[in-house]
């Protein structure tokens, strides 16, 4: 009998498995897919390198600091500024301390009137106080309601906050919990937003290095048996003393026979190649107008090497799952891009269109009160999933740490607060 079986080789499962392996346990990871990393994946196509969806790493995440060798990831920082696009009109809104080059243009940007720029500076100063995880407690409301209460006007909300934080929470209506907004705002201040030069999949690759992982093994049922757990897979039955269930929350709910999260948030991504440089901008592009595009990024401007020599790579995010078929969606997005690049949009080549119906779980105000715990109704099975914390890399990693700590009796890690 195996000491411990970890089901799922996403970030939560990998962190749990590595912690347990390092503590001397015999651990085997079973992964349904043909690779590790779960939702964190990178595609390589015709010399272009882009993620599954548009994903970035916040280096300030405390669990990232504990778990990853950041230097080995060869990170490239994305400028801490965004470009607000209204058709052909372009404005830069930057963090003047960390992106001094953006200061002159930030000062004159009408997308955020001067009183709101001052409000943003005051908000930043307030959210910089205390440990970041404390921002996950306190009164909750929607991010939109919170911004309104801080006095921000509609123009700033529509032009900046909605597309920028909509791109993080995959919901442009800013209906996500304000606690989460405050925490992410702090993460943006405390560290870089970065991409591993060679792809986000270098993160799970680093975590997986010391582990015994069986790929293409799907777990179909878990059952307490004989003081341990029977793990039924497509390839037969295995026995383990204990199991860490680290699938996505939706599969975990099926295997446990009980809900793990409430709802999911989907998103759609289009990747385009260009043989001519349509834009030299390395910053994130925010669409301030109504339309399908929420944000876009010339990845090859930010991370040279993500496109072959002489080529450019554009990632476009459309929030939600579009009812349009791929051809109609592509045509619609190209139509919007032609307002940005009248001379070049028609010559963009579509590399890939990707629909991710379960990108994150829904995180409305007070969602923390409905989070799953690590204990499950199956004796010997412990849950490791972002569903126990928050939807994102921090949530997944800290959940893996905590699940491992439960099996190891490590009280210090178990009692670490969410987000710390």
Ligand X SMILES: Cc1cc2nc3c(=O)[nH]c(=O)nc-3n(C[C@H](O)[C@H](O)[C@H](O)COP(=O)(O)OP(=O)(O)OC[C@H]3O[C@@H](n4cnc5c(N)ncnc54)[C@H](O)[C@@H]3O)c2cc1C
Q: Is 166 in the site for ligand X (CB under 6 A)?
A: no
Q: What's the full length of the chain, in residues?
A: 420
| CA-wise closest residue to 200 among 58, 357, 23, 330 | 58
Q: Which residues are annotated as a binding site?
A: 31-32, 219
| CA-wise closest residue to 359 among 237, 268, 420, 236 | 268
Q: Is 13 in the site for ligand X (CB under 6 A)?
A: yes
Q: Is 372 in the site for ligand X (CB under 6 A)?
A: no
Closest contact distance (angstroms) between CB of 399 and ligand X is 7
- SS (HEC) of 314-343: EEEEEECCCCCCHHHHHHHHHHHHHHHCCC
Among 16, 17, 28, 38, binds ligand X (CB under 6 A): 38
Q: Which residues are annotated as a binding site for FAD?
A: 31-32, 219
Closest contact distance (angstroms) between CB of 221 and ligand X is 9
Find the binding residues for ligand X in span 328-357 (CB under 6 A): 356
Find the binding residues for ligand X in span 243-282 (CB under 6 A): 246-248, 251, 267
Looking from the CA of 58 toward its CB, the CA atoms found within 13 Å total 19
Name the helix (H) or strand (E) containing 3. strand 2-7
Among 219, 265, 292, 315, binds ligand X (CB under 6 A): 219
- CA–CA distance, 263 with 285 (Å, rounded to integer): 28
- Binding residues with ligand X: total (CB under 6 A): 34
Closest contact distance (angstroms) between CB of 13 and ligand X is 6
Q: Is 79 in the site for ligand X (CB under 6 A)?
A: no
How do strand 81-86 and strand 284-287 relate by DSSP bridges?
Answer: parallel
The nearer residue to ligand X, 8 or 109, going by C-beta atoms, is: 8
The nearer residue to ligand X, 117 or 355, going by C-beta atoms, is: 355
* DSSP letter, residue 348: P
The nearer residue to ligand X, 109 or 204, going by C-beta atoms, is: 204
The contacts found for 80-84 with CB under 8 angstroms, 24 or more apart, are 80/188, 80/192, 80/193, 81/106, 81/283, 82/160, 82/164, 82/283, 82/284, 82/285, 82/286, 83/281, 83/283, 83/284, 83/285, 83/286, 84/109, 84/111, 84/159, 84/160, 84/163, 84/286, 84/288
* Stretch 374-413: interaction string toward ligand X, x if CB under 6 A: -----------xx----xxx-xx-----------------
What are the strands, taking DSSP E only, across 178-283? Answer: 193-196, 213-214, 219-225, 228-233, 236-245, 264-274
* DSSP letter, residue 161: I
Closest contact distance (angstroms) between CB of 8 and ligand X is 3
Closest contact distance (angstroms) between CB of 321 and ligand X is 12
Q: Is 218 in the site for ligand X (CB under 6 A)?
A: yes
Token duo for residue 232:
């039924």
Provide the 3-class DSSP secondary structure of residue 219: strand
The nearer residue to ligand X, 155 or 198, going by C-beta atoms, is: 198
Closest contact distance (angstroms) between CB of 320 and ligand X is 12
Largest Cα separation within the chain, whole Å, is 70
Provide the 3-class DSSP secondary structure of residue 31: coil
Among 28, 39, 85, 297, binds ligand X (CB under 6 A): 39
Q: Is 229 in the site for ligand X (CB under 6 A)?
A: no
Stretch that binds ligand X, among 5-13, 106-114, 291-299, 304-312 (CB under 6 A): 5-13
Q: Is 53 in the site for ligand X (CB under 6 A)?
A: yes
Q: Is 62 in the site for ligand X (CB under 6 A)?
A: no
Residues in contact with ligand X by CB under 6 A are: 7-13, 30-33, 38-40, 53, 55-56, 218-219, 246-248, 251, 267, 356, 359-360, 385-386, 391-393, 395-396
């Amino acid at each position: 009998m195996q000491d411990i079986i970890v089901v799922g080789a996403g970030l939560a499962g990998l962190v749990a498995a590595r912690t347990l392996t390092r503590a001397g346990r015999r651990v085997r990871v079973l992964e349904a897919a043909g690779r590790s990393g779960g939702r964190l994946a990178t595609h390589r196509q015709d010399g272009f390198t882009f993620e599954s969806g548009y994903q970035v790493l916040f280096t300030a995440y405390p669990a990232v600091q504990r778990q990853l060798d950041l230097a080995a990831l060869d990170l490239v920082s994305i400028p801490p500024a965004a470009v607000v696009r209204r058709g052909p009109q372009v404005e830069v809104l930057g963090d003047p301390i960390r992106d001094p080059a953006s200061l002159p243009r930030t000062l004159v940007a009408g997308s955020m009137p001067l009183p709101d720029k001052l409000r943003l500076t005051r908000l930043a100063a307030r959210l910089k106080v205390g440990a970041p995880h404390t921002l996950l407690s306190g009164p909750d409301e929607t991010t939109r309601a919170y911004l309104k209460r801080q006095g921000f006007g509609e123009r700033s909300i529509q032009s900046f906050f909605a597309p920028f934080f909509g791109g993080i929470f995959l919901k442009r209506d800013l209906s996500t919990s304000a606690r989460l907004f405050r925490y992410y705002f702090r993460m943006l201040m405390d560290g870089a937003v970065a991409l591993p030069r060679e792809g986000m999949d270098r993160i799970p690759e680093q975590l997986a290095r010391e582990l015994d992982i069986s790929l293409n093994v799907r777990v179909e049922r878990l059952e307490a048996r004989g003081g341990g757990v029977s793990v039924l897979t497509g390839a037969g039955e295995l026995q383990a003393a204990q199991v860490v269930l680290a699938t996505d929350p939706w599969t975990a709910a099926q295997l446990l026979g009980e809900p793990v999260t409430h709802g999911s948030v989907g998103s759609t991504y289009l990747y385009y190649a260009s043989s001519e440089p349509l834009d030299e901008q390395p910053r994130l592009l925010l669409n301030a107008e109504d339309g399908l595009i929420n944000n876009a990024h010339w990845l090859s401007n930010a991370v040279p090497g993500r496109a072959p020599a002489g080529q450019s790579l554009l990632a476009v995010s459309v929030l939600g799952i579009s009812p349009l078929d791929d051809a109609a969606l592509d045509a619609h997005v190209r139509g919007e891009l032609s307002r940005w690049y009248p001379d070049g949009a028609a010559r963009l080549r579509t590399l890939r269109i990707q629909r991710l119906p379960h990108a994150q779980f829904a995180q409305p105000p007070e969602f923390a009160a409905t989070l799953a715990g690590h204990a499950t109704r199956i004796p010997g099975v412990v849950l490791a999933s972002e569903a126990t914390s928050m939807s994102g890399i921090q949530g997944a990693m800290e959940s893996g740490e905590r699940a491992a700590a439960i099996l190891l009796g490590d009280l210090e890690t178990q009692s670490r607060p969410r987000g710390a």
